[in-house]
Amino acid sequence: MKKWLYFFGLAWFSLTSCKDDEIALFDKTADERAAEAIANLKQDLVAPANGWRVKYRPESESGSFYLLMDFNEDNTVTIKSDLGFNEGEFFEQTVTYRIDNSLGLELIIESYSFFSFLFEQGDATYLAEYEFNFVNKTPDDALVFNSKTDPDTPTILLFEEANAGDEDLLAQQLSSNLNIIAEDFKKWSSSLKITYQNKDLVLYIVVDNFRRTVGFNSASRKTNLAVTQGMNFTSPFVLKGDSIVFDDAFSGNVLGNNITIKGIKLSTLTEGTINICADPTMVHSYAGITSASDLVALETTIQDASGGTFAQVSDFFSGPLGYITTNGEFIGNQIAEDVTGAQALQLYYNYNLGGGNVLYGIGFYLANANGEPTFALREFTPTLTGNNLVFEFAPEITAFGNPNPDADINNINIYLNALTEGDNTYVFKINDNVFELHNPCTGFSAVLFNGNQ
């Protein structure tokens, strides 16, 4: 009997203890607990004297941006970055933020900022974000967030307490100078080369300043541009002080030169000219030294040793109107107004028509009201020298398909003339299946995709 009473008392004590714990656990309402969590996170964000250092990679294939973020009690945050667009608008901004508690704690950058600008790029297809979920606080007091709306694996952001000297990380001058070089020609892709001072070597590269990626497409000798070698290397990069630092190092033998590049430290930006148009075109050169101590110059160029390879990639290319510009301004709507039903610019290059006949033609694919398409093309005889494509046109435009389109097809000549004026059409490789036609003297530019994919 005594034994039974002992176990009964022990069980009763356990039950009442659990009940007391539950009372202690839930002595605050859900709203009170949420408010406390928000206050604690805000206290953590505001605490560091020098704010937080963040290395932000918007998507897994892109490069990174260094940020310094200093949070204030009044729900403002000062963001310093090395994003050199909009004349340095994002080098330093003080904007508003808030902390919410929905399914968990969320940090939201409310005002238009560095994050908003990146979010907009590529019609919001670039996976940048301005709303972040709080994940946890690490043992060394760093704060971990992730992107709220990434469709697959969320981007992780690590907030590390900043040091007083961390502003030296921000490559603001370098970022501005890279944008200056990118604007030498008003085109979609960059027109850059790395020229070695101590080697007979030029590397032709494409740099994406938004996504912070670099692609090495081809190389040539300095002394003979006709001697070329294809390359296929791409890496994300980060700007760090006065240097471009690749995530992945390039290493290999290029035209007899053993080279390694992990990054380039850049120093002096100078102006020059290229004489291909009626008036000289101003271009820039950026002196630097590679991670392997090779003296180089990062320069704007009209040459691209891989541009002429488009003819080996496909015999048919197509470019939507949204990828056609003049001096960097979209002209798709104007084309659609001038050429009724225009859908895409098309290039047929040694296209097999059967029976031993081939087609060289360029023009527009037209969608007519009766549902019968027209391929309005001006045939030509090409001369391809390096990446310079010269068109010897037939006298008239030919309407393949529906011979009576809704459009006045002679208006197509407005755009073909802008592309080919002065025999100054140059072809640039963006990637394995995407090329750009550009006339630096008129500013006309069109991106063409491999139509046989």
- Give pLDDT tens digits for 197-219: 999 999 999 999 989 999 999 99
What's the confidence (pLDDT) of residue 29? 82
User: In terms of domains, do 141 and 213 share one?
Assistant: no
| pLDDT, greater one: 18 or 30 | 30
Given a cut of 70, whether residue 184 has pLDDT beyond it is yes
User: In terms of domains, do 101 and 159 share one?
Assistant: yes
Domain hosting residue 412, numbered range: 308-450
- Give a yes or no: residue 271 inside a domain: yes
- Give a yes or no: residue 25 inside a domain: no
Q: How many separate domains does the chain show?
A: 3
Average pLDDT over the chain, rounded to whole?
Answer: 91
User: In terms of domains, do 184 and 156 share one?
Assistant: no
User: In terms of domains, do 110 and 126 share one?
Assistant: yes
Instruction: Report pTM.
Output: 0.86
User: In terms of domains, do 338 and 392 share one?
Assistant: yes
pLDDT band per the 50, 70, 90 thresholds, residue 9: very low
CA–CA gap between residue 145 and residue 156 (Å, rounded): 6
Residues 143/134, Cβ–Cβ less than 8 Å: yes
User: In terms of domains, do 445 and 314 share one?
Assistant: yes
Given a cut of 60, whether residue 427 has pLDDT beyond it is yes
- Give a yes or no: residue 27 inside a domain: no
What is the phi/psi pair of residue 16, to 5°?
Answer: -65, -35
Could you read off the pLDDT of 43-85 as tens digits, one per residue?
Answer: 999 999 999 999 999 988 899 999 999 999 999 999 999 999 8
pLDDT band per the 50, 70, 90 thresholds, residue 104: confident
CA–CA gap between residue 237 and residue 169 (Å, rounded): 14
| pLDDT, greater one: 201 or 35 | 201
User: In terms of domains, do 313 and 381 share one?
Assistant: yes
pLDDT band per the 50, 70, 90 thresholds, residue 383: very high
Give Cβ neighbours of residue 350 (< 8 Å, ≥ 6 apart).
Answer: 311, 315, 358, 359, 360
CA distances, 95 to each of 51, 64, 71, 136 (Å)? 15, 21, 10, 24
| pLDDT, greater one: 154 or 302 | 302
**What single letter denotes the amino acid at residue 307?**
G
Tokens of 409: 């097809």
Q: Give the count of alpha carbons within 13 A of 311, CB side only.
A: 14
Could you read off the pLDDT of 251-266 as tens digits, one per residue?
Answer: 999 999 999 999 999 9
What's the confidence (pLDDT) of residue 154? 87
Residues 107/129, Cβ–Cβ less than 8 Å: no
What's the confidence (pLDDT) of residue 26? 53
User: In terms of domains, do 368 and 434 share one?
Assistant: yes
User: In terms of domains, do 316 and 444 share one?
Assistant: yes
What's the confidence (pLDDT) of residue 8? 34
CA–CA gap between residue 336 and residue 405 (Å, rounded): 14
pLDDT band per the 50, 70, 90 thresholds, residue 152: confident
Given a cut of 50, whether residue 447 has pLDDT beyond it is yes
Q: 259, 276, 305 — which closes off a domain? A: 305
- Give a yes or no: residue 444 inside a domain: yes
User: In terms of domains, do 237 and 315 share one?
Assistant: no
- Give a yes or no: residue 353 inside a domain: yes
User: In terms of domains, do 296 and 193 share one?
Assistant: yes
Q: 168, 200, 234 — which closes off a domain? A: 168
What's the confidence (pLDDT) of residue 122? 75
- Give a yes or no: residue 186 inside a domain: yes
What's the confidence (pLDDT) of residue 262? 97
User: What CATH number has the domain bearing residue 106?
Assistant: 2.40.128
Given a cut of 80, whether residue 25 has pLDDT beyond it is no
Burial group, residue 227, by CB count within 10 angstroms (0-12, 13-18, 19+):
middle
- Give a yes or no: residue 6 inside a domain: no
CA–CA gap between residue 26 and residue 89 (Å, rounded): 48
Could you read off the pLDDT of 316-361 as tens digits, one per residue?
Answer: 999 999 999 999 999 999 999 999 999 999 999 999 999 999 999 9
Q: 102, 134, 168 — which closes off a domain? A: 168
- Give a yes or no: residue 115 inside a domain: yes
Given a cut of 60, whether residue 11 has pLDDT beyond it is no
Residues 242/174, Cβ–Cβ less than 8 Å: yes
User: In terms of domains, do 150 and 49 share one?
Assistant: yes
